[in-house]
Chains A and B, each alone.
Chain A
Amino acid sequence: MSDNNKMENMIGATALMKSLEKEGVKEVFGLPGGANLPMYDELGKSNIRHILVRHEQSAAHMADGFGRVSRKPGVCFATSGPGATNLLTGIATAQADSAPMVAVTGQVPVAMIGKDAFQESDIIGMANPALKYSYQPRTPEEIPTMVKQGFYIAETGRPGPVLLDIPKDVQQNEGKFTFPDEVRVPGYHPWADPDITNTARAVELLLSAQKPIILAGGGVIISSAFAELQSIAELLMIPVVTTFKGKGAFPENHPLSLGPIGMHGHAEANKLMTEADCVLAIGTRFSDRSVGTFAEFEKNLKIIHMDVDPAEIGKNQTTSVAVVGDVRASLRIFGKMLMDKAVRTSDDNPWLKHVKEVKQYWRENLKIHPGEMGAAKILRKLRELLPNESIVTTEVGQHQMWASLFFDAIHPGTFFSSTGLGTMGWGFPAAIGAKTARPDVPVVDIAGDGSFNMTENSLATAVLEDLPVIVFLINNYSLGMVAQWQRTFYDRRMVGVDLKKCPDYVKLAESYGAQGLRAQSMDELDSAIKTALKSDVATVIDIPIDPEEDVLPFVAPGTGLKDMILPS
């Protein structure tokens, strides 16, 4: 038995901190309360940095942002009852977007569970469908194995959130501990080896296509398959569209890049997607927001589906060939098979010629808002001034879709958004989490005012914890996406969308000790972005825009990509 496995006496909370340290955890995001006091007491004695939030939802989003950027689970702490339920939205967001996270909640003492104790909630029951897995140790000795397993489950295969709900007495009680170096989880098989026969069939099918296209999803980013994807696209000269979650999987300034498809996809991407006869879909779950209607999408289209999650195969779309496994591993085998065949595609085939024409047409002819501070213009200005390796998060709403349309993600894996659950308020705390993971690069939250409202109290965290992120606040003084739907589908009956110029975001930022800047012209915006990039304190750039500006193109819900509404 190695030194590592020697029995040690300590209390459960100490064992928890020791287990987290062994997983390489350097920071946790959280808020203390009655039922997690013992773990906070030990956290204070450990080398782990605590980043205090003002609402537990933000702790979960910070852990999520940290996890997506570092691809290691972000850790958040909350107390029992409302502390735990406040984490729920953040847990569900991480689950929907396959982000690695370990959430640790305090629970009432074991003997009090089920007695409707003060601040008791059955958080495991409530969070179950939004969790990859959960644990509730009943004795302190169980903690090290659960932490080890929890991290393993959260970060492997298709990542996701894991909850560790620890009753207060289990934190306090002493036990004899061993810390496992390895764990087994019998019912968990995170990776299958890509099937060679199916991969070969996928190669044949793609090569036989007249109008092939690649659809890159979030799985490409999660598995870091950027180089593999790019080399296959370039070797075969196949255009690449992405899902919104896959934005940043392929450089958007690349000649073969067409950008995201979907409800607010690029016009050229949606158009060419519907014309293609075969798609190599990598690490995507074919969300309705990406494909429109399932039946319409797969009409006249052969689908090759690569995904780590076997349950995604055939869930929404019928596939011709499926390759289950880590998509990076699958793409490597796929690429090697192409090399062995010595395939070379010339770039003067009719499909590619057509692709180039369509792309060029829409790049030149898509009508954008005529105003000086139109969304396209301000986002292109941000792209121009922001270094390519900067990390960008977004909130949820019009600004998010404008970011998708007009802000090119160039460096791999630098664009993150709540794409699945669509959680307003995600972007700002996620940016803080991202900055914690990558203090060396600028981190910008492309925000809308409605979303920023929801977690703006994280300004305290950004300022006090010295995490100088930039909030690029596209401010239309309204819940803009809802307003757009009311203008489009409800005959302009505007209900509950006017935020009435409240609050003043410059003053709000300043009241937290952050920097508040307002940009009402392109010159002001230019200088505000430059000031923010040089600032060592968090900055909010308030950018008032026309509240009537719509996000276009727009594929209305329940219609196909070919039916997209274009700017008139």
Chain B
Amino acid sequence: MVWAILSIKVENKPGILFKVTHLFRSRNFNIDSISVGVTEDKKYSRMTITTIGDEKQITQIVKQLDKMIDTIEVRRLDVNNSVYRELVMFKIKVNKPEDSMEINKLASAYSAKIHDAKKESIIVEMTATPHQISAFEELAKKFGLKEMARTGITALEREEHEH
């Protein structure tokens, strides 16, 4: 099984997200994460979908997505040659006054931002790879994780090297 990032350029019209996700459902594929937003050209949106499957399944997903009339371009990104990040918010419990300091330190180690620091909880925002997010999540659990919200991955492939 492999983890794949699919970058899908679609027409920016209502109903297309439904069709894309419906395709995954009806073909028995799996969506690991999904993020959607407009591109530099407002006529188009970009969906970034991560999925897990064997090579044959992922090839099929790409072909089926490509066949969809609303998709303008479907690319499987090279994971090793792409910048991929996810935005996540953690609401972390503050049990005792020292926790606040500890959480601040932890956040700065991960280049995360502190929001809404209250007596009982702190919201931490970070943009990172899924791996880093998991690592931070483990550390935050020590304090108690009240809530977590993630955006799903978004990604762009790096330009080819210029020689």
Q: Which residues of A contact B (CB under 8 A)?
A: 124-125, 128-129, 132-133, 153, 185-188, 309-311, 313-315
Quote the shortest CB–CB distance from A101 to chain B (angstroms): 16
A311-B63, A311-B64, A314-B59 known; A188-B26 Cβ under 8 A: no
Quote the shortest CB–CB distance from A161 to chain B (angstroms): 13
Q: Is the CB of B18 within 8 A of A187?
A: no
Stretch at the interface among B66-74, B118-126, B141-149: B66-74
A153-B69, A314-B56 known; A186-B11 Cβ under 8 A: yes
Q: Is the CB of A128 within 8 A of B70?
A: no
What are 9 residue pairs bridging A and B, where the CB atoms are less than 8 Å apart in the complex? Answer: A128-B19, A129-B26, A133-B69, A153-B69, A187-B10, A187-B69, A310-B66, A314-B60, A315-B60
Q: Is the CB of A187 within 8 A of B56?
A: no
Is chain B's binding surface mostly helix, strand, loop or mixed? helix
CB under 8 Å from chain A, chain B span 1-39: 10-11, 15, 18-19, 22-23, 26
A128-B22, A129-B26, A311-B66 known; A186-B72 Cβ under 8 A: yes
Q: Cα distance A311–B15 when bound, in Å?
A: 23
Quote the shortest CB–CB distance from B43 to chain A (angstroms): 9
Query: Counting chain A CB atoms within 10 Å of each CB, which of B26, B63, B66, B72 scores highest?
Result: B63
Given contacts A133-B69, A186-B72, A187-B10, 4 further A-B contacts (CB under 8 A): A129-B26, A187-B69, A187-B70, A311-B67
Quote the shortest CB–CB distance from A501 to chain B (angstroms): 41
Quote the shortest CB–CB distance from A385 to chain B (angstroms): 44
Closest to B16 in A: A187
Q: Cα distance A309–B64 when bound, in Å?
A: 10
Quote the shortest CB–CB distance from A465 to chain B (angstroms): 34
CB under 8 Å from chain A, chain B span 49-86: 56, 59-60, 63-64, 66-72
Residue in A128, A133, A311 whose CB lies within 8 Å of B60: A311
Q: Cα distance A357–B20 when bound, in Å?
A: 51
Residues of A within 8 A of B66 (CB): 310-311
Q: Cα distance A426–B59 when bound, in Å?
A: 34
Quote the shortest CB–CB distance from A420 to chain B (angstroms): 15
Residues of B within 8 A of A188 (CB): 69
Residue in B22, B23, B64, B69 whose CB lies within 8 Å of A185: B69
Q: Cα distance A313–B138 when bound, in Å?
A: 43
Residues of A within 8 A of B60 (CB): 311, 314-315
Q: Cα distance A186–B16 when bound, in Å?
A: 14
Residues of B within 8 A of A132 (CB): 69
Q: Is the CB of B72 within 8 A of A128?
A: no
Closest to B10 in A: A187
Q: Is the CB of A310 within 8 A of B22?
A: no
Quote the shortest CB–CB distance from B8 to chain A (angstroms): 11
Which 9 A-B residue pairings sit nearest by Cβ, starting from the closest? A311-B63, A129-B26, A188-B69, A311-B67, A187-B72, A187-B69, A311-B64, A133-B69, A187-B71
Quote the shortest CB–CB distance from A92 to chain B (angstroms): 12
A125-B18, A128-B22, A314-B60 known; A309-B67 Cβ under 8 A: yes
Q: Cα distance A464–B139 when bound, in Å?
A: 77
Closest to A188 in B: B69
Q: Cα distance A40–B104 when bound, in Å?
A: 69
Quote the shortest CB–CB distance from B140 to chain A (angstroms): 39
Quote the shortest CB–CB distance from B64 to chain A (angstroms): 5
Residues of A within 8 A of B56 (CB): 314
Q: Is the CB of A310 within 8 A of B63?
A: yes
Quote the shortest CB–CB distance from B74 to chain A (angstroms): 10
Q: Is the CB of B69 within 8 A of A124?
A: no
Q: Cα distance A313–B69 when bound, in Å?
A: 18
Q: Is the CB of B69 within 8 A of A128?
A: no
Residues of A within 8 A of B11 (CB): 186-187
Quote the shortest CB–CB distance from A121 to chain B (angstroms): 16
Residues of B within 8 A of A314 (CB): 56, 59-60
Query: Counting chain B CB atoms within 10 Å of each CB, which of A188, A309, A313 scores highest?
Result: A188
Closest to B56 in A: A314
Q: Cα distance A309–B67 when bound, in Å?
A: 8
Closest to A124 in B: B15
Closest to B70 in A: A187
Quote the shortest CB–CB distance from B22 to chain A (angstroms): 6
Closest to B43 in A: A186
Q: Cα distance A186–B56 when bound, in Å?
A: 27
Residues of A within 8 A of B72 (CB): 186-187
Residues of A within 8 A of B71 (CB): 187
Residues of A within 8 A of B68 (CB): 187
Q: Cα distance A133–B15 when bound, in Å?
A: 12
Closest to B71 in A: A187
Quote the shortest CB–CB distance from B29 to chain A (angstroms): 12
A124-B15, A125-B18, A129-B22 known; A310-B67 Cβ under 8 A: yes
Q: Cα distance A63–B1 when bound, in Å?
A: 44
